[in-house]
Amino acid sequence: MDVLQTLQALRNELNQHNYNYYVLDNPTISDYEFDLKLKELQELEAKHPEYFDENSPTQRVGGAITKNFETVPHEYRMYSLDNSYSKEDLLDWEKRAQKILGDVPMEYTCELKYDGASISISYENGKLKRAVTRGDGFQGDDVTNNIKTIKAVPIRLKGDFPEKFDIRGEIILPFAGFEKMNQELIEIGETPYANPRNTASGSLKLQDSAEVAKRPLDCLLYSLIGNNLPIKTHFEGLEKARQWGFKVPKQSHLAKNMDEVLDFINYWDKHRHEMPYETDGVVVKINDLHQQDELGYTAKSPRWAIAYKFKAEQVSTKLNSISYQVGRTGAITPVANLEPVQLAGTVVKRASLHNADQIEKLDIRIGDEVFVEKGGEIIPKIIGVDLNKRPQDSEVTKYITHCPECQTELERKEGEANHYCPNFYGCPPQIIGRIQHFITRKAMDIEGLGGETVALLFNNHLVTNYADLYELKKEQIIPLERMAEKSADNMIRGIEKSKEIPFERVLYALGIRYVGETVAKKLAKHYKSIDAIASASLMDLILVDEIGEKIAQSVIEFFDNQENRFIIDRLKHYGVQLEVLATADTTVSDVLLGKTFVVSGVFEKFSRDDLKKAIEDNGGKVGSSISAKTHFVVAGDNMGPAKLEKAKQLNIPVISEDDFIKMINE
Ligand code: AMP
Ligand code: ZN
C-alpha cells in the first residue's frame, strides 16, 4: 500500500467508527483505540500535506475560525410548518388536502418534531459541501465549519447516493449533554444555559469551531431535497438517507390512515419524555411525493405537512414564598416555593426564578397563582402569572438588597444578570461551598470527607478555608456527630494523600471564578507554578491560548487578594503541589514523532498509564508487544526476562524511565 492508500484506509476506518458510535450508537472499539488511530492519521497527514483532505476525520476536531458567517441563498426554500393543536385541526387539514387531490387514498409519515435549530446540508458526489442555517427561509448563514465537527453528520456517504442533493434536519443537544455542560458551568461559577434548544442554536454561530466540537451536539435528519431523487415517497427518502449514513430516528412511522396518525400522536404524547432529547410535537407529512407536488405550498408552508404541537406540560399552583440561595461564588439565585403539584409525573415544590430581571419582567408576586412548565431543565420554571387570580392585597416583589446568610449588601456588576454577595471570606455558604469544591473528585479528590462533613467542620469552627483542612487533628474530629475513630482516621489519611494531587488539579480546586478544569490545565502547563501565575500581568494571561479577558481578570483579582495569597502560602507549607513536578513534566511536543515504544515493568516516577500518556503526548506511539517495529523499550522494575531477551535479539535499545525523561526534555 502506498501512503495515499494507507491514508484513505485509515480515514475510511475512522469514518466507520464515528458512524458506529454517533449514528448507530453502537461502538465497536474503545475510545482509547479510536484516539490512537486518529493520532496515527494526524501524524501521517502532517507528514504528507500534499494529501490534505478537508473531509478527513481529523478535521472534525475543529479549529477553523469564522469571523463573519457568509450569507448564502437556499437553492430550495426552507419553509415553516403550519401548526395544529387538536384532532379536529388535523381532520380539517386532511379534508383540505383531499379537496385538492380528489378522492385518492393518502398515507402519512409521522415523525417526532425535534426541538433544536434547523439545518440544510448539501452533498455532492457523496461529500459534505456546505451546511446552512434556516435564516429567513430564503437565505441563511454558512456554518459548514461548525457542522463538520458534529460527528453524527456524515462527511462522506456510503451506498447508492445521488450525485447532488440537500438534506434537512435539526441540530439538537440531548438532555444528558446539556446537563453535563451546565454542571461544568456551575462548577466554575458561571450561569448555566437556559435550555437545550437555545444552546444548540447558539452553538451553530460560535466563531471557534473547536468550541463547537467540544459540545455534545447531535443531528437528526428528516427530509431529502433535490432533482430526480431515487424515491417516490417521503418514507422511502428517510430509509435511503439512513442507508447513506445519516441519523434518521427510527421512531418515524408510516401511517396508512388518519386513525393511525392519531394513535402515533397519542402514544408519543405520553412517551416523549422517554426520549433522550426534547421533542415538542409530531410532524405529519403526506407520504406520496406526487401528491406533495400537487398540493404545493402556501406563502409560508407546505400544504402537504402539518405539525401537531404537544401541549406543554403546564400546571398552575400557588407561589407561597421566594427564598434566596447563595452559591459558592456568591451568586444569588431566587427560588420559588410552590404549593406542591403534579407535573409530568413528578411532584413539584420548587421552581427556578433565575434572577431579579425575570421576577420583574413577569411581575411575579408572593400569593400569585403561577404557571409552571417543565422543559429540558431539571428544575421546572415559572412562565407566567394568572392575573385573574391575583389577591387584592398583593405587593410587588422587592428583590433582596442584602445577603440572606451574612447580611452584607449585595452587588450587581454592569451587564450581569445575577446579584452577588461580595463577602467572600465571611459568608458561610461561600466558605463551605469553596471547601466542598476543593475536595471534589475532579479537584483534590479527598476520600473520607464529604460535602456534609465540610459543613459540620465549618459549623464547629474547625475550618474556615481549605488550608485549615491540613491542620485538622483526629481528636478534634472524633467528638463530632456521626464521627468515630475510624472515620476520623480515614479523613486524615484522605487529606494527607491529597498532597500528591498534581498542580493542575490543585489550581482547579482553588475555585478561582471561571477557572474550570480545562483552563486550569492550560494555565498549569503554561506557567508551571502558582508563583508564576500569581505574578503574571493581565496582558500576559490573555496571551495564553484560550484565556480570555474575563478569565484573566478573575485570576488577577484572586491573587490581588491578601487572604488568598496567605492561604496559598499555607498550602505550600503543608506540601500541596503548587508547581508542576519537574520529573513528571510531560509537556506536549512531537520529539518522539515516528517512534514506537513498548513499556514494561513498574516505574517510580510514572504510573504505567502516565508513562504511556507521556509517550503519546510527545508524539510517540505505544506498542503492545516487542517487534521489529519497536524503537525503544522503556523498562521498569520487574520487567519479564523473556521480553528483555526478545529486545536483545532484535537489537532494540532498552532504556530506563530517567533516560526517557531526558529524551522528552531535550
Ligand atoms: P416552525 O419553526 O414551528 O415553523 O416549525 C418548522 C421547523 O420544525 C422546521 O424548520 C424544522 O426545523 C423543525 N422540525 C423538527 N422536526 C421536524 C421533522 N420531523 N420534520 C420537519 N420539520 C421538523
Ligand atoms: Zn453573604
List pLDDT tens digits, range 52-99: 888 899 988 887 888 889 999 999 999 999 999 999 999 999 999 999
At residue 164, the pLDDT reads 96
We find that the CATH architecture of domain 596-665 is: 3-Layer(aba) Sandwich (3.40)
What is the number of the ligand 1 atom nearest to the C-alpha of 119? 12
The helix or strand, by DSSP H or E, that contains position 496, with its residue range, turns out to be helix 485-497
Distance 79 CA to ligand 1 centre (A): 9
Report, as an integer, the average pLDDT of 120-143.
95
Of the pLDDT bands very low, low, confident and very high (cuts 50, 70, 90), residue 587 is: low
d(CA 53, CA 155): 11
Amino acid at 574: Y
Amino acid at 162: P
Alpha carbon 585 to chain centroid, angstroms: 29
Cα–Cα separations (whole angstroms), residue 31 to 13, 21, 28, 268, 273:
14, 10, 10, 34, 29
309 annotated ligand binder: yes
Distance 598 CA to ligand 1 centre (A): 53
The answer, yes or no, to whether residue 414 has pLDDT greater than 90, is no
For 30-41, the pLDDT digits (tens) are 888 898 899 999
Distance 80 CA to ligand 1 centre (A): 7
Tell me whether strands 369-373 and 314-326 are parallel, antiparallel or unpaired: antiparallel
CA atoms within 13 A on the CB side of 456: 13
Report, as an integer, the average pLDDT of 334-353.
88
d(CA 161, CA 123): 9
Q: Is 434 left (phi over 0), alpha (psi -120 to 50) or beta?
A: alpha
CA atoms within 13 A on the CB side of 32: 6
For 147-199, the pLDDT digits (tens) are 999 999 999 999 999 999 999 999 999 999 998 898 888 777 777 887 899 89
For 3-53, the pLDDT digits (tens) are 999 999 999 999 999 999 999 988 888 888 898 899 999 999 989 988 988
Residue of 113, 151, 247, 374 with catalytic role: 113
Three-class SS state of 1: coil
Report, as an integer, the average pLDDT of 622-644.
85
Using N-to-C axis directions, what is the helix angle for 196-204 and 175-187, rounded to 10°?
A: 80
Tell me whether strands 127-133 and 314-326 are parallel, antiparallel or unpaired: unpaired
Pick the CATH number of 428-500 from 1.10.150.20, 3.50.50.60, 3.40.640.10, 2.170.120.12: 1.10.150.20
The answer to whether residue 612 is catalytic is no
Report, as an integer, the average pLDDT of 510-536.
93
Q: Which ligand is nearest to the CA of 331?
A: 2
289 annotated ligand binder: no
What is the number of the ligand 1 atom nearest to the C-alpha of 112? 19
At residue 352, the pLDDT reads 83
Report, as an integer, the average pLDDT of 232-244.
97
Where exactly does CATH 1.10.287.610 map onto the chain? 3-61
Alpha carbon 381 to chain centroid, angstroms: 22
What is the number of the ligand 1 atom nearest to the C-alpha of 285? 20
d(CA 378, CA 503): 34
Q: Which residues contact 367 (CB under 8 A, 6 or more apart)?
A: 318, 319, 390, 391, 394
The answer, yes or no, to whether residue 585 has pLDDT greater than 60, is no
d(CA 621, CA 603): 19
Distance 169 CA to ligand 1 centre (A): 8
At residue 355, the pLDDT reads 87
Protein residue with least CA distance to atom 11, ligand 1: 118
Q: Which ligand is nearest to the CA of 280?
A: 1
The answer, yes or no, to whether residue 238 has pLDDT greater than 80, is yes
The answer, yes or no, to whether residue 375 has pLDDT greater than 70, is no
d(CA 96, CA 94): 5
Amino acid at 666: E
Residue 41's closest CA among 85, 66, 10? 10
Question: What grid cell was written down for 568?
Answer: 496559598
Q: What is the DSSP string of 20-59?
A: IIIISS--SS-HHHHHHHHHHHHHHHHH-GGG--TTSGGG
Where exactly does CATH 1.10.150.20 map onto the chain? 428-500, 503-584
Q: Which residues contact 129 (CB under 8 A, 6 or more apart)?
A: 122, 123, 144
Structural contact between residues 427 and 326, judged by C-beta atoms closer than 8 angstroms: yes
Protein residue with least CA distance to atom 3, ligand 1: 81
Q: What is the DSSP string of 78-136?
A: -----EE-SHHHHHHHHHHHHHHH-S----EEEEEEE-SEEEEEEEETTEEEEEEE-TT
Of the pLDDT bands very low, low, confident and very high (cuts 50, 70, 90), residue 286 is: very high
Q: Which ligand is nearest to the CA of 283?
A: 1
Pick the CATH number of 312-421 from 2.60.40.10, 2.40.50.140, 3.20.20.140, 3.30.60.50: 2.40.50.140
- From 224, 279, 283, give the residue whose CB has the most ligand 1 atoms within 8 Å, as the site to mutate: 283
Distance 151 CA to ligand 1 centre (A): 21
At residue 376, the pLDDT reads 52
- In the beta sheet, which residues pair with residue 382? 372
Q: What is the DSSP string of 303-347?
A: TTEEEEEPPP-EEEEEEEEEEEEE-TTSBEEEEEEEEEEEETTEE
At residue 31, the pLDDT reads 84
Question: What grid cell was written down for 429?
Answer: 455558604
The answer, yes or no, to whether residue 449 has pLDDT greater than 90, is yes
Residue 167 CB-density burial (10 A; 0-12 exposed, 13-18 middle, 19+ buried): buried
Residue 2 CB-density burial (10 A; 0-12 exposed, 13-18 middle, 19+ buried): exposed
- 503-584 topology per CATH: DNA polymerase; domain 1 (1.10.150)
Alpha carbon 227 to chain centroid, angstroms: 38
What is the number of the ligand 1 atom nearest to the C-alpha of 113? 16
Where exactly does CATH 3.30.470.30 map onto the chain? 83-309
d(CA 179, CA 181): 5
User: Mean pLDDT over all residues of the chain?
Assistant: 91
Alpha carbon 150 to chain centroid, angstroms: 12
Of the pLDDT bands very low, low, confident and very high (cuts 50, 70, 90), residue 600 is: confident
Where exactly does CATH 2.40.50.140 map onto the chain? 312-421
Question: What grid cell was written down for 70?
Answer: 457568509
- From 79, 83, 108, 114, give the residue whose CB has the most ligand 1 atoms within 8 Å, as the site to mutate: 114
- In the beta sheet, which residues pair with residue 341? 348
d(CA 440, CA 516): 13
Question: What grid cell was written down for 366?
Answer: 408572593
Which residues form ligand 1's pocket by a CB distance below 6 Å? Answer: 80-81, 111, 113-114, 118, 134, 170, 222, 283, 307
Structural contact between residues 592 and 660, judged by C-beta atoms closer than 8 angstroms: no
At residue 377, the pLDDT reads 54
Query: Domain 3-61, CATH 3.10.20.90 — does that match?
Result: no
Structural contact between residues 170 and 131, judged by C-beta atoms closer than 8 angstroms: no
Three-class SS state of 585: coil
- 83-309 topology per CATH: D-amino Acid Aminotransferase; Chain A, domain 1 (3.30.470)
